[in-house]
Amino acid sequence: MTTTSLPKPPRSRLGHAYGEQLAQHAPTGHHPTAAARESATLTLAYQDRFLNGPAFLSETERSTVVEDLHTVYELLRSLPERVFGGSITALATAVGMDPQQSALITRSARTGSLLPLGRADLYHDGTGFKLLEFNLTSALGGFENADINRAMLAYPPLEEFVQRHGLRYRDTLGRMVRTMLAECAANIPTDRAPVVAVVDTADNFAVVGPRLRVFAAKLADYGAEGIACALGELTYRNGRPTVAGRDVDVVFRYFLPEDLTDPVSAAQLEPLLVAVEQGKVGLFSRLDAELYGNKGTLAILSDEQHRDLFDSAELACIDRLLPWTRYVRPRATDPGGARVDMLAHALAHQDELILKPTLLHGGHGITAGWEAEPAEWEKKVASAMNGPFVLQHRVRPAAEPFPDSAGGLQELFLNWGLYLGARGVDDDGYGGGFVRASTDPAVGVVSMGSGATVGCVFHGGDC
């Protein structure tokens, strides 16, 4: 078995070491993804699109990026006070939400508490992580992350490598449940398992219902009784939501504010919000979580005009983690801080910019400048002017070494999905992660929709 030489030194030393280990040992007769492919849960989520090995994070990298993400989270939560005179509604309007969405978010923000829960989508450019998006919501996906780790450990060479280097992984679903129990503590019974309804709108549930039923069933492993249902299946006996004959303690929300523009869904939400306001049920997470995870809020943090609102440590974190991101407005500051005409700047730097809508998820509506024809790019940027769109500086992901199907190494380019929850007395809130990989270094969006393969993350050791 031979190892393919990589054109340049790999970023991940452990990834390279794992490839060398595989090259030095005879084939085991096991396929590294066999257990993942045999898992009904993982097949439902990812079909047969698994990487032949995991991604590795050094403990230093992991702790540094987690601390930076906590800082960014707190900065995002502080934006209403720092920039908008304490008005959540003003922030919602600024990031492009319509009056109905703004009103619902402002209303939800008055209830209960909101703890950190999110997935950071990051590229590593070879020197450090860069934050592309920060999805702050309960509708994160990734509850199967630890299942991928466990399935990959069924491959003997990886199990031996992980043990030898003292590597670990975190259970993402466990982090979600822990955060849910803390955020909705007032609604968690002390004499029985809480009943948790995993809820999406009817249209969404028709597509993702099978996966949400798996999610609900898995909650039993964490001491909760889960029931997956559509929003319209909830009924309200004495004002408290019930489903399948059970009183609900917590609604685990999978619908998004953008789903509530549908009048039917909005009407079905109303009695739930009333029940939350009356303290009869917990909502996880509150609707205003989406506000802080909006792409537009990263543009506010990145914008030159707000730098005097942050102290030196906060600015250092912003500069380290965030790529240049600006609302699409006629005038803005370029990466050097000079005032420029935005359209002219976008046309002159097309190959280094990506256009993103602030309100959509899953890579929808994104246009990578380097993938677009000049006329198309000009039309898209011009149409986005003064709308709910941002331009973001392109981040070029560094190559990562992974085992290929021929027994050598290949270069892949990763979108890291790292999860963050509330800090505990014994941990920093890291909730594990997964990666989506592409063979194309110029891919606009590394996502399952663009053909990416998926893998798990181990941390520790020296990468």
Whether the predicted pLDDT of 10 surpasses 60: no
pLDDT category of residue 445 using cuts at 50, 70 and 90: confident
Tens of pLDDT, residues 168-203: 999 999 999 999 999 999 999 999 999 999 999 999
pLDDT category of residue 230 using cuts at 50, 70 and 90: very high
pLDDT of residue 27: 66
Nearest-angstrom CA–CA distance, 350 and 286? 38
* Beta sheet of 235-237, edge-to-edge order: 235-237, 240-243, 246-247
pLDDT category of residue 7 using cuts at 50, 70 and 90: very low
Angle between helices 13-24 and 156-165 (to 10 degrees): 130
Q: Using an 8 Å Cβ cutoff, are 225 and 195 in contact? A: yes
Query: Which of 24-28, 131-135, 189-193, 350-354 is predicted least confidently?
Result: 24-28
120 closest CA partner among 339, 421, 398: 421
Tens of pLDDT, residues 304-362: 989 999 999 999 999 999 999 999 999 999 998 899 999 999 999 999 999 999 986 55
Tens of pLDDT, residues 44-74: 999 889 999 999 999 999 999 999 999 999 9
Q: Give Cα 332 to chain centroid, integer Å.
A: 28
pLDDT of residue 363: 56
Whether the predicted pLDDT of 2 surpasses 60: no
